[in-house]
């Protein structure tokens, strides 16, 4: 019998400016992702995102509107199934624009402002985010999943 997938509850920031999106990348990995991270026990999604963004960038952020959830299942390098629930929120930091370099406070991460038109080339994960971020804002669904509906 296959083992149950490991569940990841995540809060992610959609930080946009002038048609660009701020992406994070871990050293040694080809894919990119939105800033943010894992929710700790007893922590709310918004509080998690404020904490994660401060830890990652050293900057204070304001968490805005809830934008939706992206559900994603994948296998890690050892073959263990992983199941993510990425809760997306708009976020801003006073004075932060795409013309500024965002320096990482965590040595394993880098940040880059990427035009929305180049998200596919940056291997943004989960893959559904590529279309979701590049799409018409009025047509965005608040929920997307790579899992088959049953």
Q: Which domain holds residue 131?
A: 6-94+101-138
Determine the distance from the C-alpha atom of residue 144 to the mean position of all C-alpha atoms in its chain, rounded to a whole number.
Answer: 14
Peptide bond before residue 126 is cis, with ω within 30 degrees of 0:
yes
pTM over 0.85: yes
DSSP secondary-structure letter at 102? P
Q: What is the pLDDT of residue 150?
A: 45
Q: What is the pLDDT of residue 65?
A: 94
Domain assignment of residue 29, yes or no: yes
Domain assignment of residue 149, yes or no: no
Q: What is the pLDDT of residue 11?
A: 98
Domain assignment of residue 150, yes or no: no
Q: What is the pLDDT of residue 137?
A: 53
Q: What is the pLDDT of residue 149?
A: 53
Burial class (CB in 10 A: 0-12, 13-18, 19+), 133: buried
> Which of 19, 5, 18 minimizes the C-alpha distance to 117?
19
Q: Are 69 and 85 in contact (CB under 8 A)?
A: yes
> Which of 13, 6, 85 minimizes the C-alpha distance to 51?
13
Q: Are 45 and 11 in contact (CB under 8 A)?
A: yes
Domain assignment of residue 106, yes or no: yes
Give the total number of structural domains in the chain: 1
Q: What CATH number does residue 55 fall under? A: 3.90.79.10
Half-sphere exposure of 32 (CA within 13 A, CB side): 20
Domain assignment of residue 129, yes or no: yes
Low-confidence ranges of the chain (pLDDT < 70): 1-3, 136-141, 148-150
């Amino acid at each position: 019998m296959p083992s149950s997938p490991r569940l990841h509850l995540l809060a992610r920031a959609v930080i946009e400016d002038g048609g660009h999106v701020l992406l994070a990348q871990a050293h040694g990995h080809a894919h990119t992702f939105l800033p943010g991270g894992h929710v700790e026990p007893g922590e709310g999604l918004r509080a998690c995102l404020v904490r994660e963004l401060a830890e990652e960038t050293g900057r204070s952020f304001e968490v805005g509107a809830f934008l939706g959830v992206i559900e994603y299942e994948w296998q890690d390098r050892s073959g263990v199934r992983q199941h993510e629930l990425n809760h997306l929120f708009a976020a801003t930091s006073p004075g932060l624009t795409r013309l500024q370099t965002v320096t990482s406070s965590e040595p394993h991460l880098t940040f880059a402002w990427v035009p929305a038109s180049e998200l596919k080339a940056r291997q943004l994960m989960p893959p559904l985010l590529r279309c979701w971020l590049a799409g018409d804002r009025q047509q965005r669904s608040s929920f997307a999943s790579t899992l088959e509906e049953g």
